Structures are given as structure tokens and as C-alpha cells.
Chains A and B, each alone.
Chain A
Amino acid sequence: MADVVIESTPDVLMDLDKSGQGDVRTEEMLVNMGPQHPATHGVLRVVLRTDGEMVLESIPHVGYLHRCAEKIGENLQPYQYIPYTDRMDYLAGMNNNQAYALAIEKLAGVEVPERGKYLRVIFAELNRVASHLVAFGTYGLDMGAFTPFLYSFREREMILDMCESACGARLTYSYLTIGGAHDDVPDRFFDVLLEFLDYFEPKIPEYNQLLSFNHIFVKRTADVGVISASDAIAWGLTGPCLRGSGVKWDLRRSAPYEIYDRFEFDIPVGVAGGTDGIPRSVVVGDCWSRYFVRVLEMQQSCRIIRQAIEQIPDGDHINKKLKNLKLPAGEVYMEIENPRGQLGFYVQGDGSAIPSRVKARGPSFSNISILNHIGRGCLLADIPAIVGSTDIVMGEVDR
């Protein structure tokens, strides 16, 4: 009988003991995964304590991309800080711009013209689609499927082209700024956008055939890394990770900001398998549910964009009266729904043009903190599946 002392022994090992198979001598091993690893989405490092193929502990170590964003926020004017927000969640630059701009507007009491608000919604949703496309493609890569990556990047390039036509950048836009959107969109932009939506929406069922209902993919992700709804809330999970656990919570509907109360859209959540064509082995809160929520959200974003194009008025795209913006003494906390969850900015003003404290609450930071809790007792090969399904961006975890 081996003298292996295991703290926080998973139940699986206990069962092995009872069934008499516990005589097999096992040795624990520490496996270091990352910070340079193709399946960690950047520079996440996970230290795994394993017993054979089984993971006893998976401790995430972060900070390899700590770029001092909060210190920089205390030293720059809000306009100058907008480009840094791009680089936090670099897959969803528009949403981050919007979050910081909204926080500053709330603090300084800045009005945004109607057209600016609509432009913000259109670009935020467009960026959400682009971000989910990357999540979809790279999750396929993590699971060993290369083709979805090529398809998703094909569509993503079209979105980037549109963003480029509006602001000149492919990835770090700095387009949505304090008081509205930096520039108006070029002529015929909305025609191009509608054309893209007509092209893109039929692609989503194609993606589902390609990856979502693929047997191997379902085997790898269904019933793996299950997070219960109460756990998800307690650990502060937001976005698709929370909705994958069946909680119908989305800030765009739950506490609408900007003009999201003017649009009709659904909030997709994870549902148990066996109905509506969902694979039978799926349970609420597993990796597959989190992944599939993202696919469904792309459809809803397209719906929002279509409504916004119909409603958008003419007029100014930015509040042109803004000169020498001074931040009054006081503090605000503003949250928006970013593709990964709730992105919050806590800004403290002190009467000067530069805020005295900027704190960003990145959704990925909370989303990855649950890894050790759900990674216990799963197989080594499930860890990339779990990490990939939370869809973290390290720029936002470490800031």
C-alpha cells in the first residue's frame, strides 16, 4: 500500500480505494503548463498537480502581461488613456473604449449625441462578433480542429476591414471616445455592413455543422468543467461563462446602459442536452454550453446591428462642445457587457483634468480564478478545454 498523502483528494480517488484498486502505486507529479503554451491563450501559467492523467490541483499564475495600465490611468488625461483601454482586452477594443468613455461621461456629466450613441452600439456589437469569432476559431484549435480557425478568420477580416474604413486601425481602434465616436462613418458604410450581415448570418449554421455538433468536439467538451449557477455567481463570473451556467443575466438587458433598452434581442443561456438539437451529453454549465452561448450571441449581435442601422438618426457623431474636460471631485463605477463579461471602470476624479485613480475590473480576471475549483479531478487533457471555454484574454487579466 502506497503512502501517498494527498491533500484535497478528489472523490474519484476515494472510490478507487474502496474498489480495491488503490494498491497501484501512484506518484504525484507537478506539471507546469505555460506561460508559453499554445493552448493557454497568451501567457497564462497553470501549475498542475497530477496523479497519472488525473489533475488534483490546477493553480493559475497570472501577471506575465502586467502592463501597469492602472498606474498609467492616473497619469494621463482621459482622452490620452483611451488607446490604453484598447490594449487591455485587445480582441474587443471598441467595447473597452466604450466602457471607459461611459465612466468618464458619467463622472463629468457629458452628453452624447444620438448618432454617437448608435454608432457606439453598432461598433460594440460588431466587435463582439469579431471577438466571438476568434473565440470560436481558437477553441477549435485547442480541441485539435484547424479548419474552423481559417473560416472564422475569413469572416473576421471582413469586420476588421469595416472597422478600418471607419477609424483606420485593425485591432486597436480608439474610435469610441469621450462624447461619442471619434469620426463619422464613411459613405455607403451601412450598405457594406448590411451586405456583410446578409453574408454572415447564414454562416452560423455552417459553423454549427462544422464544429458545434462535431462528435469529437462534443466528446471533448460536453460534461467537462461544469460550473453550477451558484458557484458562477459566487466566484464573480460574468458574460458567457455565467450564462453558460444557465443564469439569464446580461447587463445589456439586466441593467441597460447607453441605448440598449431600445433594441429587441434574446439572451442565450446554457440548456441541458436532448432538446432543440443540443447533443444529449451536454449538461448546463459545461464547456460546450459556454462555447455555444458565444455562437448564439453572434446571431443576437447581428439582430441588434440591423435594428440600430434602421433607427440611426443624422446629426453629430461626437459632442463638439467638449474642450478642456475637467473631472469633478467624486467617483464612479461603470460596468458594461464586454464579449467576455462585465468590464468595469472605477474612476476617481479630484477636480483636475487627470483622474486620481483608475481601476479596471477585467471579466477574464474573475473568470479564470475559478479554474482550480472546477479543474479538480478532471483529466489532464480537459484543462485546455476548460481554459479555452472561459475565453480569457491575458491583457485583461493582468492589465
Chain B
Amino acid sequence: MSWIDNKFEEGLIVTSLDWAINWGRQNSIWPMTFGLACCAIEMMAVGASRFDIDRFGAGAFRASPRQSDLMIVAGTVTYKMASRLKRLYNQMPDPKYVIAMGACTIGGGPYFKHGYHVVKGVDLVVPVDVYVPGCPPRPEALIEGLMRLQDKIRHQTRAKDPISRVKEEVLN
């Protein structure tokens, strides 16, 4: 949540502002090159010639977390990697989004039962916005996941959400 979010009462100006900001955000999601395992190859395929994720404004893969909006966790997260993953997530500027790509990041996948060194789902480490199932997911599936994330961004608002409004009323 960035500085502008969750600040204003709902109204015509906020709604128009929302539309403009969301339009900008959803069409320029810059992902981080965060390939961990097999899924990373499919993520590369998404960025390459046939699937071309640039069509959705998400083709500018950044090497640094400080320049990226989206972390596609592509591949198995291990205990050794988990602390690094958390640090990278913390280095990303707001607003930030996470796509959990593949069965391993969703819940340990094929390594659930005997994988003593595998984290059973990346949502135990960082919050996740969209889950993309598959082992590995096809590039089309990742593009679908990206479109669902765009849907999510499209419905964000700068207005105060009901919970914080109630909180405020109680406090006052």
C-alpha cells in the first residue's frame, strides 16, 4: 500500500483519480527476474518471442528489486532461500505484488511429502496476490495470472476501506 492509498473519502474526484492511477499501474507492471527453478524457464519463455509478455506491459524485467513492482516467485522455495526471498520482498517499493507460480510455491507441490528442505508454500514467507497452478504452469497460464493481477489492480481505490473507516469512528 503506497502513501496515497487509503486516505480519502469516496467521491467523484477520487473515483476519477483511481481510474487514472490504476490504468497506469496495471499496464506497466515491471516484474523482477526472480527465477528459482523449472518455472523460471517458462517465465523466460513468456518473455521471449512467441508469448511476449510485453503485450501486457509487463515485459520490462528488472534485475533489481528496487525497480520492480511484481515478484513472480518462479520455482521451489527452500529454507535456505526463504530468508533471501523475504529480504528481496522487503526491498521492493510499494505498491508491490507477488505471483506464486507453480505447484511448489503454492504448497510444496511434488516436494510436499518428502521434501525436508522445501518450504510448503511461499505464502508462509511473503503475502501472495495471485496463485498460478501447474508444474510448471504453461506460459498461457502465467499470462492469465498476470491478467487476474491486473483485475485486482483495476479494483483498487484510494478511498478509505470500510474497516479503517469503522476503526476511525470507534477511535473518535
Contacts and interface: CB of A to CB of B under 8 A. Distances in A.
A373 interface: no
28 contacts: A36-B32, A42-B36, A42-B37, A43-B81, A63-B78, A63-B80, A64-B36, A65-B78, A65-B81, A66-B80, A66-B117, A67-B78, A68-B111, A68-B114, A68-B117, A71-B116, A72-B111, A72-B114, A90-B37, A90-B38, A90-B41, A151-B49, A153-B50, A157-B45, A170-B136, A170-B138, A172-B135, A394-B37
A72 B113 CA distance: 9
B110 A84 contact: yes
B34 A67 contact: no
Contacts of A172: 38, 135-136
A71 B114 contact: yes
B88 interface: yes
A249 interface: no
Nearest to B62: A38
B104 to A, nearest CB: 8
Chain A interface size band reads: 35 or more
A170 B136 CA distance: 9
B26 interface: no
B122 interface: no
A65 B136 CA distance: 16
Interface string B95-115: 000000000000000110111
A154 interface: yes
A171 B88 CA distance: 28
A71 B117 CA distance: 11
Given A42-B37, A43-B36, A68 B115 contact: yes
Given A36-B34, A172-B136, A67 B49 contact: no
A67 B110 CA distance: 10
Contacts of A72: 111, 114-115
A151 B49 CA distance: 8
Contacts of B36: 42-43, 64-65
Nearest to A398: B78
A156 B116 CA distance: 34
A261 to B, nearest CB: 32
A35 B81 contact: yes
A67 B117 contact: yes
B157 interface: no
A369 to B, nearest CB: 18
B83 to A, nearest CB: 11
Residue of A84, A150, A151, A171 with most chain B CB atoms under a 10 A cut-off: A171
Contacts of A91: 41
B81 A64 contact: yes
A64 B40 CA distance: 14
Interface of A: 35-38, 42-43, 63-68, 71-72, 75-76, 83-84, 86-87, 90-91, 134, 137-138, 149-151, 153-154, 156-157, 170-172, 394-395
A395 B136 CA distance: 14
B84 interface: yes
Contacts of B118: 67-68
Contacts of A149: 48
Top-9 shortest CB links A-B: A153-B48, A90-B38, A38-B63, A154-B49, A72-B114, A64-B81, A68-B115, A150-B49, A157-B50
A35 B84 contact: yes
Interface string B32-76: 111111101110110011100000000000010100000000011
A63 B33 CA distance: 19
Nearest to B63: A38
B60 to A, nearest CB: 12
A81 to B, nearest CB: 10
B12 to A, nearest CB: 43
A36 B84 contact: yes
Contacts of A153: 44-45, 48-50
Nearest to A152: B48
Contacts of A64: 36, 78, 80-81, 84
B42 A171 contact: yes
Contacts of B88: 36
Nearest to A158: B50
Contacts of B116: 68, 71
Interface string B122-152: 0000000000000110100000000000000
A137 to B, nearest CB: 8
A108 to B, nearest CB: 22
Contacts of B117: 66-68
A153 B48 CA distance: 6
A87 B78 CA distance: 15
Residue of B65, B113, B115 with most chain A CB atoms under a 10 A cut-off: B115
A87 B37 contact: yes
Given A91-B41, A153-B44, A157-B50, 17 more contacts: A42-B40, A43-B36, A64-B78, A65-B37, A67-B76, A67-B111, A72-B111, A72-B115, A138-B44, A149-B48, A153-B45, A153-B50, A154-B48, A171-B38, A172-B38, A394-B37, A395-B37
